[in-house]
Chains A and B, each alone.
Chain A
């Protein structure tokens, strides 16, 4: 997702990371109890995990996150007017890039005189589950996070 942000920044595409709540709290990154702690975790997202996009932090009660459906790692795309043009209940770089390639050429098409009218599309995309990488991330959170995920999803 960082690479997509860099690649499309020159085409007037913005990209941010919105910090929500700890989906898999563990000994190293426990559940949030204060904004100070939330800012510390958000800093680590940048400094430890290498998120290079601007990181913005939601309120401690997750007001923004909850209004958008509270999924643990979702992606939305907004037009400059605030119009919602894409929403995905999971973040997948291929899906996001596919969408942004389409939207990035809308302003040029309008400038070229095309009269564009919106319509709705539903599509089922597929992501790589990357289980090894996921479990390594859980281990970074702490043994509790690994144990709880295995218990919640024994077949996972």
Chain B
């Protein structure tokens, strides 16, 4: 688990560190039901991705970070 945390939260933008994570081609397909995961809002209150997408006809989810 520690190894996963360290590899996922890589310390430097180097191809050997970021390229292994870029797996869009094998991500879930359109027309399938999205995998659900726990998430937290900025007040650290837990929620789930499914709770988010079930609130509207359609939900746009942008993935990213400060950097």
Contacts and interface: CB of A to CB of B under 8 A. Distances in A.
Contact of B30 (A13, A86, A148): A86
B9 A33 contact: yes
Given A75-B60, A100-B60, A152-B13, A21 B65 contact: yes
Given A45-B66, A82-B50, A58 B39 contact: yes
B13 A46 contact: no
Interface residues on B, range: 35 or more
Looking at chain A's contact residues, the main secondary structure is: mixed
Interface string B12-42: 1111001001111111111111111111111
Nearest to A67: B35
Interface residues on A, range: 35 or more
B2 to A, nearest CB: 10
A135 B31 CA distance: 36
A96 B66 CA distance: 20
Given A22-B9, A26-B67, A152-B15, A17 B30 contact: no
A94 interface: no
Interface in A3-55: 4-5, 11-26, 29-33, 35, 39, 41-46, 48-49, 53-55
A78 B52 CA distance: 10
Interface in B34-63: 34-42, 44, 47, 49-50, 52-63
Given A59-B38, A68-B27, A82-B50, A41 B66 contact: yes
Contacts of B47: 56
Nearest to A144: B12
21 contacts: A5-B60, A13-B60, A14-B60, A20-B63, A22-B9, A31-B10, A31-B11, A41-B65, A45-B65, A61-B4, A63-B37, A65-B63, A71-B24, A78-B58, A80-B59, A82-B50, A82-B54, A85-B58, A87-B27, A87-B28, A137-B67
Interface of B: 1, 4-5, 8-15, 18, 21-42, 44, 47, 49-50, 52-67
